[in-house]
Structure formats: C-alpha cells, structure tokens
Structure 1
Amino acid sequence: MTTFIKSVLVDLQKKQLNLEELIFILPSKRAGVFLKHHLSTLLDQPIFAPEIQSIEEFVEDLSGLKNIPNTDLIFKLYETYKNNTHSQDLEPFESFSKWAQILLQDFNEIDRYLIPQEQIFDYLSDIKELDHWSLEANQTELIKNHLKFWKHLKNYYAEYSESLIQSKQGYQGLIYREAAKGIENYIQLSQNKTHVFLGFNALNTAESEIIQSLLENNRAHIYWDIDKSFIDDPIHDAGWFTRQHRTQWNYFNTHPFNWTTSLYTEPKNIQAIGIPKLVGQAKYIGQLLEDLTKDETNLSNIAVVLGEEHLLLPVLNSIPEHITKLNVTMGLSLQFVPLASFFEQLLTLHKNNPEHFYYKDVIGLLSHPSIYPLFETKTSNISNELVAHIQKNNLVYISVNELETLSKSHKELITLLFQSWNNSPTLTLKQCSDLIFKMKEHLDTNKQHNALELEYLYRFNILFNQLSELNSKYDYLNSIDALQTIYRELLSSETLDFKGEPLEGLQIMGMLESRVLDFETVIISSVNEGILPSGKTNNSFIPFDVKIENKLPTFKDKDAVYTYHFYRLLQRAKNVYILYNTEIDALKGGEKSRFLTQLEIEGIHDVKHSIVSPEVPIIEKSLKQISKTPLVIEQLKTLAVKGFSPSSLTNYIRNPMDFYYEKVLGIKEFEEVEENIAANTLGSVIHNSLEDFYKPLEGAFLTIEHLQGFKSQIKPMVTKHFEDLYNKGGFSKGKNLIIFEIAQRYILNFLNLEIQSLKEGNEIKILSIEADEAIEIKIEELDFPIKIKGKVDRVDMCNGITRVIDYKSGKVSQNQVEIVDWEDITTDYKKYSKPFQILCYAYMMRQQNQIELPIEAGIISFKNLNGGFLKFGKKEKPGGRLKNQMITEETLDNFEIELKKLIAEICNPDTNFIEKELD
C-alpha cells in the first residue's frame, strides 16, 4: 500500500524541489514522524532533514505569541473580569470558572474565524435585549444584571486580548488572528522558503487566509487527501469542506485542484459488528488482534482507533500476550487514574470543613487502594482496625481526635488525611503534596514493582504544583470548593502519555490522531450515534442562528469533520472492522452510527453485518447441599447440649443452609454501621423497655396506677435502651428521631390498651416477664441429650386463664397464628413460623410444670394493637372456622411429635443440609 505521505514526497521529488529547504506543515505533530520515516526510504544519500511543523506550531511562530494552558487563561480572564465589574456584581471565582470556560471557547471561535469583534458582540447584546424573558415593562434587577453582562462582553474581550498580546501570550484563537494579520509581513521576510501543506480538510478562516496568501505568492504547495467519491458527491459530508475550498479559493480559478484519488471504490473487506457494552468491544478487539497477528510482521499496518477515550485501559488489558510492540498515541486522561478518585474524595470530605466526618466518607478514604497500604504494620492493618471500631460502636459521625487516638502508630497519616484544612486552598495544596510524598516513600520500597503507581504520583505532583503556582500568583482561590473546580478542570485536560516506537508495532489512537496516516487494517470502536459523530451539542453562549449568520462552525460542521476522518480511514484500507455498542449506556449507545447506514445505502461496498456476544455457559441451577461429616455431627451435639432456641429452629425451617452457616460454622452476619435505626433494634428497645416496666410486678395484679406511672417514664426508659443498643449512633435528628418517637408511641399505645382492658373489668396478674426457660427432651433416634431453651416475653393470667405472650414490633394478623395441618408447622416458615415459636414456649413451660392446661398462647403486634391479643388457633381446613383456640394436652402432644421430628432431621447424619429456594 502506498500511503498518502509517501505519494506527496514522490511528487515533490518529481517537481525537483530541494527537500532540505522545504517547510512541511501537517495537521498534527505525530504525522511528522511518519513523514521523516517515508522520506528516509526515498533517499539514496544523507540530507539535512527539512523543517516539519504542525499547523499550531507554524501559526504560533507566525503570530509571535505563546500558547498558554487553559487553566492559566481562566485566571487571566478573571483578572479582566474583576477590572471591568463593580465589586457588588462580582462573582466568586468558583462560580465564574464554571461559565468562563464556555466564554473562552466562544472567544476562540470568534478569533479563529476572524469575525469583527464589534459586530458580533453588539449583535449578541441586541439579541439578548430583545430576548429577555420578562413581560414587565420595567426590568427586574435579575434581568438588568443579565443584560449588563452581555453589554460588557465586548469590553471583557478587548481588554483580555490586549493584556495577552502585551505579555506575548494567547489562546489558540487569538494566536490565529494575530498570525493572519502578520502573514503579509512574513511573506516579505521569507522570500526563499517554500511551504508544503498536506492532509488538511476543515480549515478555519485564519488558516484559510494564511494558506491562500502563501499559495498566491508562490510560497507554498498544498496536497489534499480526498477521494472522488466524496468530493464529486454534492451532498457527501466527507467532502463538505474540500468542495468549499475548491469553489471559494481564488487560487483554484487559475490552478488545478489536484490530489483527488479513486481508492475508496477499490474492493475492501468491511465488517460491521454489534457488541454489547464497552468492555465487550475491548475484549472483541483483543480477539480480532489474536486472529490478525499470528506473527508480528504486519503489526505496523494495523490501527485500533478508539471512538471513546475511556476504552483505552480495557483495550490495553485485552491485547494478546504475543503482541509485545505497540504505540499508544492517545494519552490516558488523569481522571481515569485511581489517584484521581482518592483526591476527589479527600477534597469533597474537607470542602465543608466538618467537625465530625460521616462514617462512609471515612471508610471510603481509609479503604482506598491508594492509601490503604500505608496503614500496614507487621501484624495487621490499622485501617481495618479503624473500620472495625466504627462498625462495632455504630459511629455514624466520627471526629479527627477519635481517629488519632485509635491509631497512635499512624497518627501523622491520620492527621494529614483528616485534620481540618480550615477551608484554606493553600493548606489543602500543602497537605495533598505531603500525602503524595508519603505515598512515594511507601512505593519507593519496591520501585520496579510499583513503577506505574510512581508515574501516577509524579503526574499528580506536577498537577498540584501547577495549582500551587496559580494560587500563589493570582490568589483568587478563597475556598476548597474553588480549588476543587480548578482541580477538575486540570484533571480533565492533563494526560499520562505513553512511550512507544511510532513506526513499529500495533498502533492505538483516537480518531483525530489518525489524520494523514494510512493503514491496511483498521479497527474502529464505538461507532454509535452520539459518539461518531457526536451529534447536536452546543456548548456555547452564541445562539445557532448567530453562528450561521457569522459563518461560525456549528455541530453540523463538527459532524462533517468526523465524517471526513472516518471515511479517510477507509480510503486506503483493505480490511475494516467497525464495532458498535448494541446496548443503551446512559444517554448514548444502542443505536449504530449513521456512518454505517450511509455505507450500506451507498452500495459501493458489501458491508458484512454480525452481532456477537460473550458465550454465556448454561449453568444448571442446583440447590446447595452439605453432608453431615463427623465434625458437623459433633458440632450439632454441642449445640444440642447448649440448647436449640425456637428462633434457631425456625431459621432451619426457613433455610437449612442459613442454620448451617450460622449455628454450625459460627459465621456471623457482617456488622455494618446502622445509620438509621433498624427494625430489630426498634424491637429490642420496645422489649427491653417493657421488661423494665413489668419485671418488678411479677406475682402481682396489674393496676391502672401502675400503668399510669409507666406512661410518665416512657421517654427516659426508651432513651436509655436506645443509647445501650445504638451505641454512639445518635437519634436526635432525621429518620432516627422519627423511629425514636415511634418507639415511644408504640409503648404508649400498648399501655393505653392495657388500661382500657382493666377499665373494662378484666383482671390481669403478671406471672413472669422475660423468663429464661430450658428443658431437656429425649428423642428415640438420637443417643445424646437435647435441650431447648428460650426467653418468654410475658406470661400472665387474665380472668383466671393463663396466657403465654410473645411481643412483635412488626405487623402480625390473626391468620398468621393459625394452623390447619400439624405436618406443615415444621415445613412452611412463611405461614407457620409464629405459631411454632409460641407453641415452643408453651411446650417448655408445660414440661416444667409452670402452667396448668388449658392455656392461651399468642402474639401482641405493636403494628396491629387494634387486633388485641392474637391467639393461636387450630382450623379444620383452610378458610374454615377455628376449631379451638385453647392449648390443651392434645395440642402440645401433637406439637411435640412435629418438634421431635424436626430435631431428629437436624441431627440425622444421613440427612444433608439442603438449601431452600426463597421467595
């Protein structure tokens, strides 16, 4: 394949031009490396290399101004803004910087397209005057300020551009405008220089005037790279700009428009492949490369062009191992580096200058991969200990003093992370720099292993040095919030550049980096609508109609730029793989690009379509089973001696695997910070409060005076138990305060229910409160003793009938304490767990001869107090009437049969623990 650059060099040789004296001007710096390479292949003797410049470098030399970073430009613009705005109307830097970026882009466009400043700024001001949204005859202060901004815009621009020119600095647009002004003078001073422009497409007005002036004065040659299929088609966007140049440039009235090719129509293997998700595309690229590169001889003729920059890391991780040579043109944006999220979290933590830190923020920082290794000691990791302390003590908010006390061995590091920064950007930058050097000390212990992490640190050190310099020079950053805004701005523009040999190996690049370069095999990712092309985006203060009127570029021009780059990649390629995302990701993806549809409609090439997806193995769903080994049986015997509780038995009924993990293996549930009071904590508070109230009344009759006395003590009693159970969580505000009030209301309503019952003439005697019960039972199939234990919430006597009562803080209805068939009580957790528990309590008390049958057993539900005492009952059939609500000897005998069967099953070595499917 003969590349475009090589074709240009061959033509220059034919014209017998002295290559050493030429100045080559290219769309990008990278193309210059390839130009030198192709030049070396055409020479048979050494020469001095010609001057090779990118268009930006050439224009910068022409203007005499130096391009400065975008962040510096924003600070300088704020200086101008301050000088031209009354102090009462002045916005703080953090809010200014959010719209200043858009304003700079508009200044840039206005200058690059050489729009007369007076004309466009007056025009904009007049439009906004006509456009304001108030229907009132007299303008409000808001509208006056809004219009004042547009009237001042011309002054901002004039003073800003003048101050930059005086300091020999500029943004890109200003540099282009000054270069266009000075082109005539340059031509006079460079009589012997010949310029070669190659590979250009979309030119702004300044570029167009500069190139035309050089052409008309015989100081230049221009080489377009356009195919006849595009330029001769009046509606094809790939030839949109080149058609304009051909018809509008005076130079082409007397000179031929050369360098149109007919390569696009040559046979090509074009495959359009739909793949779900971005990572799916990255993995498929790796698979394609595996197939295309059995040997590395053809690697340099393969290019992977990424439509989205954040696909870079997944693609790099998907490259086959045998590809050892590659060149990455696009840099990795610093915002995708792990350290970026660490400093973002740190700045967010400190920007409100809190006295106490929210536990999730603290845990997030302590567990971050960038800082976690610094807490390691010989025996443990202090970070883990701090997190465990927060969880154990239920600390929703924690102070820096408490953190320092708990981590004396790493107090300096904790101070760096959490000591107040007093909303001072200067202190913030110092602390961040100190943290970077702390991390470096740790990573230096194994430099070879930590090479990449050290490179990340180096780039972030540069970034914070830039911020420190800007802060000390301009002193506009008066808060951490303002600093964070500029930090994010720098982060999005700074990249971590890769080193590689551009002429060897696999080439990985973005769409713009592909300019002027040609490859036989091209893999293009993310060819989705909204990405390639990016579609209708308007990040500008200048309305669409004003842009059209002044011939400023709109989203349509941007689409045409990407159309050209896309088709130019296909122009000389023989194999093209176009990948697109079939799934909808956020606001983009799912719809293949119009470029693909256009390829199909053209009918020039046969585009092969396919949809691929990862191979998903069919995994047969099977329930887990655990066999009862001798060790498991021994553990079950130990449990049996200690005692099975009704809740542990219902846990087995619900799911035997849960019972196995919790009781046999002793695996506890992960202890998280209970940010909002959980239902079980609320239940425990109610139980414990009622125990403290009623326990002293055991053996006594309940009176209205007792209950009225309890009512006056509800708040201190509930407070005491919340403090005991909720540790340092706090319940004085938010949801916790509501739950605290609910607990008091539940107890108050319950006491009022008891008072009402007494007033109705019922006589209640308290027999026992929260009594610990335990019995031993003998099961024929088992040769070891079995113990059942539990705590009965309340046993009382109401009008001579003994009642066994279980409190429930959740909602329970009458049908949930009734059964039909005894066999179901140990198999259906959802329906019968509550009858099982209350019958367990009644059974234990009967075995200890603490009650005389018949009795009643049931539940009092605090969410259904109107239901009263919900008694256990036996039905003949579902939906039928209750046969009996009294618990008799027959009732407990029937229950005993099922209870023993259940325990025998649990302890049977031949019956596995089998997982249940939960609804």
Structure 2
Amino acid sequence: MTTFIEEVIINLQEKGLNLSNLKFILPSKRAGTFLKHQLSRSTKQTMFAPEILSIEDFVESISGLKTVSNTELLFQFYHTYIALNTEAQPDSFEVFSKWAQILLQDFNEIDRYLIPQHKIFDYLSAIQELKHWSLETEKTDFVKNYLAFWNKLHTYYTHFTERLLENKLGYQGLVYRQADAHVGEYVTKNKIQHVFLGFNALNTAEESIIQHILEHTNALIYWDIDKTFYENPIHDAGLFTRQHVKNWNYFKTHSFNWISENYKDEKIINIIGVPKNIGQAKYIGNILKDINKTKNKLEHTAIVLGNEDLLLPVLNSLPQDVKRLNVTMGFPLKSIPLASLFESLFNLHKNNPKSFYYKDIISILSHQFIRPLFLHKSKDVATALIETIQKNNIVFLTEQDLVALCDSFKDVIALLFGSWSNNATTALGCSKSLIFAIKDHLNEKKDEHVLSLEYTYRFHELFNELERLNTTYNYFQSISSLHQVYKELLSSETLDFQGEPLQGLQIMGMLESRVLDFETVIISSVNEGVLPAGKSNNSFIPLDVKLENNLPTFKEKDAVYTYHFYRLLQRAKNVYIIYNTEPDALAGGEKSRFLTQLELEKIHTLNHFIATPTVSLMEQKLKTVSKSPLVLKRLKEIAKHGFSPSSLTNFMRNPMDFYFQKVLKIQEYDEVEETVAANTLGTVVHNTLEDFYKPLVGKQLTVEHITEMKSNISSTVLHHFEDTYNKGDISSGKNLISFEIAKRYVSNFINLELKEIKAGRVIKIIAIEADFKQVKINIPELDFPVTIGGKVDRVDDYDGTTRIIDYKTGKVNQSQVEIVDWEELTTDYNKYSKPFQILCYAFMMLSDGTLKFPLEAGIISFKNLNGGFLKFTKKDKQGYGANKITDINEETIQLFEAQLKVLILDIFDPEKDFEEKEVSH
C-alpha cells in the first residue's frame, strides 16, 4: 500500500525539489511525525530535515500572537465583563463562566471565518429587540437587562480583543484573523517554498491565508480526495474539495492535485454490531488476537475510537502479545483515581458544612491513595475508624469527632476534613498539602509506585495552575467557583503515553487520523450522535444568522466527519466497523447513517455480523455442605451449650444460613443504621417493658403500677434508644418517628393492661425475661447431651391460667399461631415458625420444673393489639367448624417433643448434607 504522504514525497522528488528547503504545513502534529519518518525512508542520502508545522503552529507564527488556554481566556474575559459593568450588579464568576464559555466559542467562530464584527453583533442585537417588542410602554427590568446584554456584545468583544492584542495574546480565532491581516508581510519576508498537504475543511481565515501564499509564491498544495467522492455532487466526503476547486482563483490557472482512485479497490469490510461500550472494547481485543494469529503482526493497523471514552476499556482488552503500541490521544486526567478523590473532597466541602455525612467520610477514608496514610506499624487504622463509625451508628461527624476517634492521625484528618471555610486559597493550600503527603508516602517505595507518583505530579501541576489563576485574578469567590474551573482544567489535561510513535498498533481519535493511511482499520462507536456527532446548538448565534454569514452549521460538521470516515477506508484493505447495538440517547443512538450509505453505494461487499458474548450456561445449583467430622464436632459443641429456638427455626427456614451463622460463626455485616431498623425498634420496646415489669415479678398488677409506668414511658424509651442505637440521632426525621412509634407501642400495651385490670381481671407476674440455659432434650439415638435454651419475654397468671407470652413488634394474626398437622411443624417455616418458638418456651419451662400443666402459650403483637393474647391453638382440621384446643397439656408437649427430636436428629444425621433452600426475602 502506497500512502498519501509517500505519494506526495515521490511527486516532489520527481519535480526535482530539494526537500530540505521546503516548509511542510499539515493538519496536525501527528501527521508531521509520519511525514518526517517517510522522508527518512524515501531519501537515499543524508539530508537536513525540512521545517514541518501543523496549521495551528504555522498560523500562530504569522500572527505574532501566543495562543492562550480556554481557562486563561475565561479569566481575561471576566476582567472585561467587570470593567464594562460598573453600574449594574455583575454576575459572580461562577455564574459568568457558564454563559461566557459559549460566548467565547462564538467569538472564536466569528474571527476564524473573518465575519465583520460590528455587522454580526448589531444584527444579533436587532433580532433580540424584535423578539421582545411589547405593547407595554415601559419594559420590565428583566427585559431591559436582557436587551442590554445583547447590545453590549460588540463592546465586550472590542474591549476583550484589544486587551489581548496589547499583551500579544489570542484565542484561536483572533490568532487566525491577525494572521490573515499579516500574511502579506509574511510572504514578503519568507521566500521559502511552502507545501500544504492533506487538508479538507478550511475556515475562511485558513482559505484566505493559503490562497494568498499560493498566488504570491511558488507554493504547492496537495489534496487527498477520491474520484468516487469528488465526482458525486451529493457525497459529503467531497463537499469541501468541490467548493475549493470551484471558488479558488488559484485553480483557474493551476492543476488540482490530486484526485485518486483508491476507494474502489477491493476491500474486506466487516460491520459488527456489539452490545454496549465495554462489549466493543472486548471485541476489538478479539479482532487483534485474530490479526496476530493470521498475519502475526499489527504493523499498519489502527484503532480509531469514535468515542474516546473507550480508551481505557480498549487498553485493558488488548492481547498480551501486543508488544509495540502507540496511544496518540493521551490518558485523560479525569479518569485517574486521584480525580475521584478530589471530586469527593470538593463535593464534601462545597457548601461549607458543619459536619460530614458518614458515607462521604467512608468513601474518602477507603480511597486507595488515602488508606495508606492511616497505616501505623502495619495496622490499618482507617478500617478501624470506619468500623467504629458503623458500630456506633454515627451518621454525621465533625473534624473534632474524627480526631477524638483517631487522635494519632489528626494531621491527616485536618488535611481531609478541616474546614475550607468556603475560601479558595484555603482549599488550594489543603489540596496541595494533601498531594505532598501522598507523594511522601509513595516515595517510601518509589520503584513500586512510579505511575502513582506521575499522577501526583500532574495533579500538583494542575493545582499550581489554579493557584496562579487565583493569585493573578482573585475571582474565586467560593469553593463552588473553584470547583468549576478545576473541572474545566481537568477535562482538558491528559497524561501522555510513552509508546512507539511509528511502529506497531496505533490507537487514536478520529481527528488524529488525518493524512494517515493504514492497511487495517478498526473504527469503534459508529453510531448516530458519535459518528457523525449530530446537531448541537451550543451557541448564541441562531441558525439563520449562521447561514447568512457563512458560518458552519451541523451540515458542515457532519461533512467533516464524513470525509474523515471515508478517508480511513480509502486506501485500507481490511476494515472493521463496530457499532453499539444498544441505543443510548446520551452516548450515541442507532447505527450511523454512514453504514446505510455504504450499503446503498453497493461498491463493496459488506459482511454484517451481530456479536454476542460467549456465555457458558451455568446451572444455578443450590449449595450443599456435607457434615464432616469437624462439622459434627462443632454441632456437638452447640448442642452442649444449647440450641436457641431462633437457631432451630433458622435451620427450618434455610439449613445453609444455620451452617454459616452457627457452625462457621459468620454474622451478617452490620451497616450504619441511618434510620432505626425493625430489630432495633423491637429491642427498645422489649427492654422498656422489662424495666417496667421486672420489679413486679411475684406481684399482682394494680392500677397504681400502670399509672407509674405511663409517667415514665418517654424517659425509659429514650434511655433504651440511646443505649441500643448508640450515637445515632433520633431528634428528627424518620428516627424521630420511630421513637414516637416505640412510645406508642408501649403506651398502647400498658393501656390494654389497664383496661383488663379495670375490667376485674387478676394479672400476676410470674417471670420477666426468664433466661433458660441447657434444658436437656432426651434423645436416646444420640450418645451426647443435647440442650435447648433461650429467653422467655413474660410469664403471668391471668385469672388462674398460666400464660407464656412472646412479644412481637411486627404484625401477627391468630391464624399464624395455629397448627393442624404436627408433622408439618418442623418442615414449613412460613406457616409454623411462630407456634414452634412458643412451644419451645413451654417445653423449656415445663422440663425445668418452673411451670406445671395446664397452661397457655402465645404471642402479643404490638401491631395487632386489638387481637389481644394470640394463643397457640391445635385444630383438628383446616377451615371453618374446626375443633380448637388452646390448653397446652402433657400430650401437646409429648407431640411437640417428638417433632423436636426429628428436627435435632435431622441436624446431626451425617448422611444428610446441609442443603440450601430457595428463600423469598
């Protein structure tokens, strides 16, 4: 394959020109690198390298101005804005920066296309005046201010550009306008022969400059357009070239170089639909593997990323055997881990909070660059600090709270959580100090942290620039305005890669592919909204005004993308075009119109594929764990200590949960309770009732007892909330509601007791929170002791009937404590877990000799207090007309004990594995 650059050099040599004496002007610096390399290969003798410039550098050299960054321009423009708004209250820098960016882009376009400034600004002002005509004789202040803004645009522009020119500075458009004004002087002073090559879309200033040089010197210009596109009057790839040939006087007397015929050469074009962006990256990796296998090299292969956000996924998807690689675009700083840290810090301090939300604190403490700063003698203090916050339910913390929890690291805590006082200077000082602290830690093992040290250096540079801007202009009135400029700088900064610029695999963006040719091209994200970018109206200039003044619209921008896309295909032999099959309105829609155009042209045979990920169908099997000797040994230890009723019902519900929690002793992860959890609420209610009733054990309840309890409800509930919920805040929000609910539960229950007493019921308290340990279960089949134990909420004597009561803060109905078939008692958790638990309590108290027959056992549900005492009931059949027995007698306990033994034997059966059950949560 002969590349365009190679063809140009051959032609220049045929003309007998001394290549060293030429000045080459190209669309990009990247193209200049390839040109220099091709020159070294095309010449057979030693020569001095010619001067090679990108068009931007060339124009800047003519203008005599220095191009400044967008961020610097923003500050310069704010100076103009303040200077011209002495009477009215000007916008803050934060508000200004949001609309000023758009206006600066418009200034840039107006200058690049050499539009007479007064003409367009007066035109815009007149349009707005027409739009806001009113029958009212007096305009409102809002309308007055709005129209005043449009009337001042020309004044803003004039003041701004004059100030820049005084300082020999300029934005791109101003540089181009000045270069156009001085190109005559440049031609007079410079007699060197110029060679322009590889251009397509040119703004008016570029056209004027190039035409002047062509007409007044012996300069040459080489275009790269294929006959297929040039001769088709409606093909956008040739739109600009056709205009140049038609409109430039130069081509009336000079030939047009060149119209090539490469596009119709035989090509293998594969169009692949791949779901999602990561899928595209992985698929590119597979293509490279296949290329390496079949051709054993990736020379002359380029990956062109339509969406440059795919860079990192593509780099992570490259095959390991890719030895030589060059990434042209650089790695965006915003994708570096340090960026997420400073984003978190800005968001944390932006509103100058008095205390910080625990999730924000944990996010920062867990960051990969922060956690090492909390290491002390190999002990991870950051983890201990996070665990303390979670254990104590601390939702909001101040810097002082954190220092109190971790005094030995107060300096680091001050850097992270010390107040920035909504002051940009303080924020920059803290940020730079933090970078130095991270650097000092990384320097301890420099060889292991080369890349991380590079990150810190680049961020140090970034904050130095912010500090310079803050010192020079002093426009950062808040952390929010600083954050905005920080994000602006961050988005434009990159970390450059070291690679093989001329060898091996090339990864680049669409614009970086200008002038370059590759045998194998892989283009990603060929979707509408990406390639081409589609309509965008980020401008104060309406479409009709742009058309009137020959400013570019979406039509011209689409034509630029069309040219670059087709130019990549022009000389390529193998083409892989990948598009995302999952349309996303924000990140690209359906497949690009370019693909439809390729199909309609019918020049090449297109191979269409839809790629789907290779997914091995794995049958979801429920877990099983066999009962090894070690497991059985652990079960015997539990049996000796005592099974609790809840652990047995847990086994009924899901044996695997029982295995994890009781055998392996793995407890569920405790998160911070931002709002009071159901179990915490239950604990508070239980503990409050225990405080009230414990002193009354052995006594008969009286109205006086209840009255005294009622007077202490609020204080007792508060005490237990503080005790159970640790340092959690219950003074507002959902937690305050939970506190009130707990008080209501207790109050309603006590009122129910009072009602019973006043109705003449005699209630005598027998036991409160009675703790039974190691109540033996007689199982002859087992040669080791098995015991059961647990706490019974309350036992009382109600009009001569002994009652075992279990409190439930959740809702329970009578049907949930009834049983028909004893054999289902230990197999159906959802239906019989509650009867099983209360029968366990009855069994323990009867076996222990604490109680005697007959008795009743049941539940009091705080969400169903109207149901009263919900008694355990044995029914002879389901449905209406069933015979119900509520007394627990010896036969009831014998039948229960038989089922309890079946369950215990099931737990200890070595032939029966612990099998996971599908549990609905």
TM-score by structure 2 length? 0.96
Structure 1 residue 777 corresponds to structure 2 residue 780:
no
Give the stretch that moved more between structures: 118-127 or 875-884: 875-884
Structure 1 residue 561 corresponds to structure 2 residue 564:
no
| Whole-angstrom distance in 2 between the partners of 1:88 and 1:884 | 87
1:260 corresponds to: 259
SS of match in other structure, 2:317: coil
Shift of 1:417: 1.6
Return closer, same or farther for 1:457/1:644 CA change in 2, 3 Å cut-off. Answer: same
Give the stretch that moved more between structures: 854-863 or 502-511: 854-863
Cα-to-partner distance string for 1:12-40 (whole Å, 9 max, x where unaligned):
22233332222211000111111112222
Cα-to-partner distance string for 1:140-159 (whole Å, 9 max, x where unaligned):
43333333222222221111
1:781 is aligned with what amino acid? E
| Whole-angstrom distance in 1 between the partners of 2:610 and 2:133 | 50
2:2 corresponds to: 2
Return closer, same or farther for 1:159/1:508 CA change in 2, 3 Å cut-off. Answer: same
Cα-to-partner distance string for 1:310-336 (whole Å, 9 max, x where unaligned):
211222222222221111111111000
Structure 1 residue 172 corresponds to structure 2 residue 172:
yes
| Whole-angstrom distance in 2 between the partners of 1:220 and 1:878 | 103
SS of match in other structure, 1:265: coil
Residues 450-465 of structure 1: pairs in structure 2 closer than 5 A: 450-465=449-464
1:74 corresponds to: 74
| Whole-angstrom distance in 2 between the partners of 1:431 and 1:99 | 30
Shift of 1:653: 0.9
1:842 is aligned with what amino acid? A
Return closer, same or farther for 1:134/1:319 CA change in 2, 3 Å cut-off. Answer: farther
1:812 is aligned with what amino acid? V
| Whole-angstrom distance in 1 between the partners of 2:136 and 2:360 | 48
2:325 is aligned with what amino acid? L
Shift of 1:854: 3.5
Shift of 1:134: 8.9
| Whole-angstrom distance in 2 between the partners of 1:141 and 1:804 | 78
1:626 corresponds to: 625
SS of match in other structure, 1:858: strand
SS of match in other structure, 1:448: helix
Residues 205-244 of structure 1: pairs in structure 2 closer than 5 A: 205-244=204-243
SS of match in other structure, 1:509: strand
SS of match in other structure, 2:448: coil
Aligned-residue identity in percent: 61
Return closer, same or farther for 1:434/1:134 CA change in 2, 3 Å cut-off. Answer: farther
Cα-to-partner distance string for 1:439-482 (whole Å, 9 max, x where unaligned):
22222233232111111111111111111111111111122211
Structure 1 residue 382 corresponds to structure 2 residue 391:
no
Structure 1 residue 314 corresponds to structure 2 residue 301:
no
Shift of 1:206: 1.0
1:810 corresponds to: 810
| Whole-angstrom distance in 2 between the partners of 1:554 and 1:369 | 45
Give the stretch that moved more between structures: 467-476 or 792-801: 792-801
| Whole-angstrom distance in 2 between the partners of 1:914 and 1:75 | 68
1:598 corresponds to: 597
Return closer, same or farther for 1:885/1:534 CA change in 2, 3 Å cut-off. Answer: farther
Return closer, same or farther for 1:697/1:546 CA change in 2, 3 Å cut-off. Answer: farther
2:723 corresponds to: 724
1:888 corresponds to: 888
Shift of 1:295: 8.8
Shift of 1:624: 1.2
1:532 corresponds to: 531
1:915 corresponds to: 916
SS of match in other structure, 1:270: strand
1:484 corresponds to: 483
| Whole-angstrom distance in 2 between the partners of 1:500 and 1:912 | 57
TM-score by structure 1 length? 0.96
Give the stretch that moved more between structures: 11-20 or 106-115: 11-20
1:25 corresponds to: 25
| Whole-angstrom distance in 1 between the partners of 2:147 and 2:752 | 68
Unaligned runs of 5+ in 1: none
| Whole-angstrom distance in 2 between the partners of 1:788 and 1:135 | 90
| Whole-angstrom distance in 2 between the partners of 1:7 and 1:779 | 96
Q: Is the 8 A contact 1:583 1:589 kept in 2?
A: no
| Whole-angstrom distance in 2 between the partners of 1:600 and 1:657 | 58
Shift of 1:406: 3.4
2:163 corresponds to: 163
Q: Is the 8 A contact 1:874 1:882 kept in 2?
A: no
Shift of 1:216: 2.5
1:334 is aligned with what amino acid? L
| Whole-angstrom distance in 2 between the partners of 1:802 and 1:138 | 89
Give the stretch that moved more between structures: 553-562 or 696-705: 696-705
2:518 is aligned with what amino acid? F
1:907 is aligned with what amino acid? F
SS of match in other structure, 2:550: coil
The count of aligned residue pairs is 918
Shift of 1:678: 0.8
| Whole-angstrom distance in 2 between the partners of 1:375 and 1:813 | 53
2:679 corresponds to: 680
2:353 corresponds to: 354
Return closer, same or farther for 1:2/1:158 CA change in 2, 3 Å cut-off. Answer: same
Cα-to-partner distance string for 1:148-180 (whole Å, 9 max, x where unaligned):
222222221111111011100011111111112
Residues 34-113 of structure 1: pairs in structure 2 closer than 5 A: 34-86=34-86, 89-113=89-113
Q: Is the 8 A contact 1:425 1:479 kept in 2?
A: yes
Return closer, same or farther for 1:267/1:726 CA change in 2, 3 Å cut-off. Answer: same
1:391 corresponds to: 390
1:642 is aligned with what amino acid? H
1:645 corresponds to: 644
Q: Is the 8 A contact 1:871 1:885 kept in 2?
A: no
Structure 1 residue 475 corresponds to structure 2 residue 474:
yes
| Whole-angstrom distance in 2 between the partners of 1:544 and 1:78 | 27
1:336 corresponds to: 335
| Whole-angstrom distance in 2 between the partners of 1:758 and 1:875 | 30
| Whole-angstrom distance in 1 between the partners of 2:622 and 2:294 | 47
SS of match in other structure, 1:838: helix
Return closer, same or farther for 1:803/1:543 CA change in 2, 3 Å cut-off. Answer: farther
1:337 is aligned with what amino acid? I
Return closer, same or farther for 1:611/1:740 CA change in 2, 3 Å cut-off. Answer: same
1:361 is aligned with what amino acid? D
Q: Is the 8 A contact 1:28 1:54 kept in 2?
A: yes
SS of match in other structure, 2:619: coil
Cα-to-partner distance string for 1:591-628 (whole Å, 9 max, x where unaligned):
22221121112111111011222211121222211111
Return closer, same or farther for 1:16/1:740 CA change in 2, 3 Å cut-off. Answer: same
| Whole-angstrom distance in 1 between the partners of 2:306 and 2:734 | 46
Cα-to-partner distance string for 1:543-588 (whole Å, 9 max, x where unaligned):
2232222222222222221111111000000000111222345733
| Whole-angstrom distance in 2 between the partners of 1:154 and 1:730 | 57
Residues 615-764 of structure 1: pairs in structure 2 closer than 5 A: 615-764=614-763
Q: Is the 8 A contact 1:854 1:886 kept in 2?
A: no
1:176 is aligned with what amino acid? Y
| Whole-angstrom distance in 2 between the partners of 1:73 and 1:529 | 32
SS of match in other structure, 2:883: strand
Shift of 1:520: 0.3
Shift of 1:824: 1.7
1:153 corresponds to: 153
2:436 corresponds to: 437
Shift of 1:847: 2.2
The root-mean-square deviation of aligned C-alpha atoms, in Å, is 2.0
2:851 corresponds to: 851
Q: Is the 8 A contact 2:875 2:885 kept in 1?
A: no
1:507 corresponds to: 506
Shift of 1:652: 0.8
Return closer, same or farther for 1:792/1:719 CA change in 2, 3 Å cut-off. Answer: same
